[in-house]
Structure 1
Amino acid sequence: MSQKALVVETAKTPFVLKSVPIPKPGPGELLVKIMATGLNPVDHFVQAYDLLPNVKYPIILGCDAAGTVEELGEGVQGYTKGDRVFFVPDLGASSGGFQQYTAISVDHLAKIPSRISFEEAASLPLTFCTAVIPLLAANPVGAGLNPTFDPNVSFKGDSALVIGGSSSVGQYAIQLLKYVGYSEIITYASAKHSDYLKSIGATHVIDRTTVALSALPDTIKTVTSSPIKLVYVAFVQAPEIMEVGYSCLAHGGQMPTAHPAPTKPEDAEATGRKIYGVYASTRIEPNIEFGNLMWKNISKLLEDGVIKPNRIEHVPNGLAGIAGTLPRFEGGSAGINGMKLVLNPQETP
């Protein structure tokens, strides 16, 4: 049996839509019919610029996926055919979301609550991991805000800043800070997203279209008199964003980021400020232990409304719509407008 898949044959070459075999689930795996796939900047930058090291070609990209269980591999328990699941595919095994079926380990997925659609579920996996690992995981992986998902943890009275709050990652960072009880959650984002960002937990929105990045530290002082004990940097494409975020951080504070390897400022040790990067995979050490807990808890967080999926922009034409849509990430958050781009591979012509 064959399926349609979008393949990058060699580095920096165009996508090719082709027929490939439907995989057979191995021990501990599920075969999933993909009903929704989210698009991420990494998909574009790997295809266009060969961004990640040690990529093995040909590769099927796609880091966010949701669908229905079609077949169970040997030894799988707790799942049945027809279950709705969402997950981060294993790109190294060409099990990415840019295809109509994939095999996925049961260790790296969760069931979709009934109130959540496939498209909404596909907005979560990679971007949620990018926020939750550096925020909640224990030191030295992350800031250690709540490594066990204890509902009683509270940072009441503390203030936090999210730079890039309207991005997919930033939206999850805001919600996670609300989850752990921060009293003030300030975000630097476009004012047009203000009402939505406040609805998910932000207490103040500093308009990035009228307040220059360089003016952010002084502007924060007009918003709150409290020290900023935590800064999350969701938008990390420019070095100056990291520098400004760090300058907003109180001595002894923590700065988790969406950057895989942020530079440590010279005065970090002397001022007690800590910076965390993230490689948003629950398959690699040292993320595995926390990742297992995350997958066990994420469905309940969604079911209880603690975490709300991103708002969705549907990409038409299934896999055939990807190549023309991914270049929008060249414009950063301005090219996406606070939405998560999602498609249904089953709609591929």
Structure 2
Amino acid sequence: MVETVAKIPEKFTYLQAATVPLTLTTAAVGLFADAPSGAGLNPTWDPKVQYVGQSAFIVGGSASVGIFVVAQICGQVNIVYDAVFSPEGQAAGYAALVDNGHLLSVRATPDAYVPKDVDDMFGKILYEKLGGLLEKGTLVPLRIEELPGGWRALWEAQSEVG
């Protein structure tokens, strides 16, 4: 197995960069991987690809995965991406979906189809382009707040209160 590593631009800390891989990959597979795993929007990450006239409804757009969905795409919608998986959100999204649209969710069901080669080619392309996307500001890491004393200090403070 060949691992592809993205270069972290110097303007980001290691902790900021650590917010990207899992949440971005989850968002990207839903948007860009070929159907039925995703909407197949732009699996090569070609910056010239545009989606004029299409719309999306993002349930949980402020969630960690949802933020990366909102960074990628700007009545009824062509794509519903449920970044939090709530029954109410999925029902609202399904009601807004056009015929032959894509309803995507972060929650895999037991019968979900995930092709075995999704990680190989799709992940390789994604991580080859990731450093440039971060450098240009097309994608940015999630906002973080470093805790003085780290998690141990938070745990100890919570133990004292509770």
Is the structural similarity TM-score above 0.5? Answer: yes
Contact 2:38 2:104 in 1 (8 A): yes
Residue of structure 1 equivalent to 2:44: 148
SS at match of 2:16: helix
Residue of structure 1 equivalent to 2:98: 250
Distance 1:156 1:170 in 2: 21
Deviation at 1:288, TM superposition (A): 2.0
Contact 1:113 1:302 in 2 (8 A): yes
1:240 to 88, 104, 113: 88
Query: Match for 2:14: what amino acid?
Result: F
1:228 to 77, 93, 105: 77
In structure 1, stretches of 5+ residues that fail to align are 1-104, 183-220, 222-226, 264-275, 279-283, 326-349
Q: Percent identity?
A: 37
Distance 1:112 1:322 in 2: 28
Distance 1:120 1:313 in 2: 9
Residue of structure 2 equivalent to 1:292: 124
SS at match of 2:72: helix
TM-score, length-scaled by structure 2: 0.83
Distance 1:109 1:323 in 2: 33
User: Which structure carries more strand by proportion?
Assistant: 1
TM-score, length-scaled by structure 1: 0.41
Deviation at 1:175, TM superposition (A): 0.4
**Higher Rg of the two aligned structures:** 1
How many residues are paired up? 156
Contact 1:228 1:253 in 2 (8 A): yes
Residue of structure 1 equivalent to 2:59: 163
Residue of structure 2 equivalent to 1:128: 24
Distance 1:324 1:250 in 2: 51
Q: Deviations over 1:57-115 (max 9, x none)?
A: xxxxxxxxxxxxxxxxxxxxxxxxxxxxxxxxxxxxxxxxxxxxxxxx87153210122
Structure 1 residues 234 and 262 mapped into 2: Cα distance closer, same or farther (>3 Å)?
farther
Query: Match for 1:245: what amino acid?
Result: G
Contact 1:136 1:145 in 2 (8 A): yes
Contact 2:81 2:105 in 1 (8 A): yes
Distance 1:322 1:288 in 2: 39
2:15 to 119, 132, 136: 119
Query: Match for 1:126: what amino acid?
Result: L
Structure 1 residues 163 and 299 mapped into 2: Cα distance closer, same or farther (>3 Å)?
same
Highest RCO, 1 vs 2 (Cα 8 Å, sep ≥ 6): 2
Residue of structure 2 equivalent to 1:318: 150
Structure 1 residues 243 and 294 mapped into 2: Cα distance closer, same or farther (>3 Å)?
same
RMSD: 2.7
Contact 1:259 1:277 in 2 (8 A): no
